[in-house]
Amino acid sequence: MPRYFFSIRHRPGTRGLAIDEEGDELPDLNAAREYALDVAKDMIARHRTDMIRDWFDCSFEITDEAGRHVLTVPFSDTVPEEDEEQLG
Amino acid sequence: MADLQQSFVRNRLLRALSPENFALLQPHLERVEAPFRRVLITPNEPVGTLFFPETGYGSVVADGSAGRVEVGLIGSEGLIGAIPVLLASDRTPHQSMVQHAGEMLSIPAGALTEAVAQSDGLRTLLLRYVHALSIQTAATAYSNATYTTEIRLARWLLMCHDRLEGDGIAITHEFLSLMLGVQRGGVTLALQTLEGNGLIKAQRGRITIRDRESLIATADGSYGGPEAEYVRLIEGA
């Protein structure tokens, strides 16, 4: 299984990226996105910190084993858009 | 272990014993290697052996449907297995495992309870340690319920630092997230904050303490209470 790395962008600049050096093995990019959304939900609900002003300004910057950026998952994606919600 | 002398032992409980009480335990102590992740006490099975850590430390871990969380940290100040055995239970629902490799002095549970039955002084000291450990567990519950991840991480790093010789702690973010019961991403964020303030240096699989005093200030009173209580109870200061 490929390994994906889930760094957290929490503000602009180099100090605004918390780099994940360990990563997780997941079947594919779609699974990586689902995993990122699950983790984001849990962090928004349970992670107490004075460092993050607004979780919805944060995103997961997902990279692959070669260090290539493969996907950005904004924490705001954990909440469906209003019209999506109505459709669902 | 015939050649083991009290003055060469590093475990603070064993050092605090009177020579007579140490002599009750000494013939039963065996020096053993404790590699990372070795399970020392298996949940819900009779405890056959207890461990006095000399170097390195173990974690007491609670397991549930939401994952594993550390509920106790035991190094050279303590005795792994003390709570069930000294409180007359042959087993515990909690696992104890090696979190930082080192050396420990093992003792069979039967030999320990026999020695305790022979000496009021030995029993008193070990029960005081059980009390000290319950204070640590209560402080962990308080921290988990009230403090930010940064403060909890600072407290935890200080507790590990107390139990190590040098300033380097071998630990991955993944393992740290298990110990603190938070997402790995939360650990990474908190480490970045502490590192940005110059308190630690975080490398892959290793955290180095750079400014202990500021780390204590960051811990915001969550660190130090149980440690002082241990000294008062065990070392009489």
Give A59's DSSP letter. Answer: E
Query: Are B26 and B20 within 8 A, CB to CB?
Result: no
Each residue of A34-61: pLDDT tens digit? Answer: 999 999 999 999 999 988 989 999 999 9
Question: What ipTM does the predicted assembly reach?
Answer: 0.87
Can you list the domains of chain B with their CATH numbers?
Answer: 6-143+230-235 (2.60.120.10), 148-221 (1.10.10.10)
Q: Round to whole Å and give the CA distance between B191 and B172.
A: 11
Q: Which stretches of chain B are assigned E, i.e. beta strand?
A: 30-34, 39-41, 49-53, 57-64, 67-74, 95-100, 102-108, 168-170, 200-203, 206-209
Smallest Cβ–Cβ distance between A18 and the set B150, B172, B192 belongs to B192
Question: Whose structure tokens read 């200080």?
Answer: B158
Per-residue pLDDT of chain B (237 residues; tens, 9 = 90+): 557 899 999 999 999 999 999 999 999 999 999 999 999 999 999 999 999 999 999 999 999 988 889 999 999 999 999 999 999 999 999 999 999 999 999 999 999 999 999 999 999 999 999 999 999 999 999 999 999 999 999 999 999 999 999 999 999 999 899 889 999 999 999 999 999 999 999 999 999 999 999 999 999 999 999 999 999 999 985
Q: Round to whole Å and give the CA distance between A31 and A44.
A: 20
Q: How far is B132 from chain A (nearest CA, A)?
A: 28
| CB contacts < 8 A (A, B) | 57
| pTM for this predicted structure | 0.92
Per-residue tokens: B177: 């997230």
Instruction: Please report residues of B whose CB lies closer than 8 A to that of A10.
Output: 189
Q: How far is B173 from chain A (nearest CA, A)?
A: 7
